[in-house]
Chains A and B, each alone.
Chain A
Amino acid sequence: SQQGEEDPQALSIQEGENATMNCSYKTSINNLQWYRQNSGRGLVHLILIRSNEREKHSGRLRVTLDTSKKSSSLLITASRAADTASYFCATVPPQGAQKLVFGQGTRLTINP
């Protein structure tokens, strides 16, 4: 079963605009990760935020985590056509194996 829900399921914006994707999850976590998947390819890790962190930046990416609301957001600034992909959040449980529990993903389309 899926851990969380991504919102929106699909997002279409113009190149240069910012894109925001949200993720909600249900159980306690050790960390939350965001991955990108281009069509028909494997997943590429973007950023990891630990449960005791609230915000993290990496290049044009900004991730926030609110453990009280069990939610996270991914902001991509100054979007490019190459950012077109599906984006998934994945949670890692506090104990046990480092398995990833994915949401359903957000399909992002950047229009030139």
Chain B
Amino acid sequence: DAGVTQSPTHLIKTRGQQVTLRCSPKSGHDTVSWYQQALGQGPQFIFQYYEEEERQRGNFPDRFSGHQFPNYSSELNVNALLLGDSALYLCASSLGRSSQPQHFGDGTRLSIL
């Protein structure tokens, strides 16, 4: 039973570039959430996808966008990268609207030079 998988594990970009991060949810899960975790901080909610639609969004600019595919996998896109976007990006999956724990991947470490 595969857990949440994220790719790539590490990525280095320069300011102004664009990046796409990928996530495959745990088997049986249909909801994907994305979080940004700066060094030494707790994760911050970016947005959540369910039934291929963005269900809720945190306090992040429009440079952050996402997509969910029919197989429930998801992508996070960030445009016009800033130095402050350097962080660990975590994907979490869960089942529908149930109030159950989320299962996290090991994240993508994004470094902006």
Q: Which A residues form the contact surface with B (CB < 8 A)?
A: 1-2, 30-31, 33, 35, 40-45, 48, 50, 88, 90, 92, 96-105
Q: Which residues of B contact A (CB under 8 A)?
A: 4, 31, 33, 35, 41-45, 48, 50, 55-56, 58-59, 88, 90, 92, 94, 97-107, 109
Measured between alpha carbons, how far is A41 from B59 in the docked complex, in Å?
24
Does A45 contact B101, Cβ atoms closer than 8 Å? yes
Cβ 8 A contact of A100, one of B31, B33, B50, B106: B33
Knowing A45-B103, A104-B42 are in contact, say whether A98-B90 is a contact too (CB < 8 A).
Answer: no
Extra inter-chain contacts (7) besides given A2-B42, A98-B97, A104-B42, CB under 8 Å: A2-B44, A31-B99, A42-B4, A42-B106, A44-B104, A98-B98, A104-B41
Among A45, A48, A100, contact of B43 (Cβ-Cβ < 8 Å): A100
Nearest 3 CB-CB pairings of A with B: A102-B42, A97-B56, A42-B104
Which of B44, B99, B106 contacts A92 (CB under 8 A)? B99
> Measured between alpha carbons, how far is A35 from B58 in the docked complex, in Å?
20
Q: Point out the residue from A30, A88, A97 that lies within 8 Å of B42, measured CB to CB.
A: A88
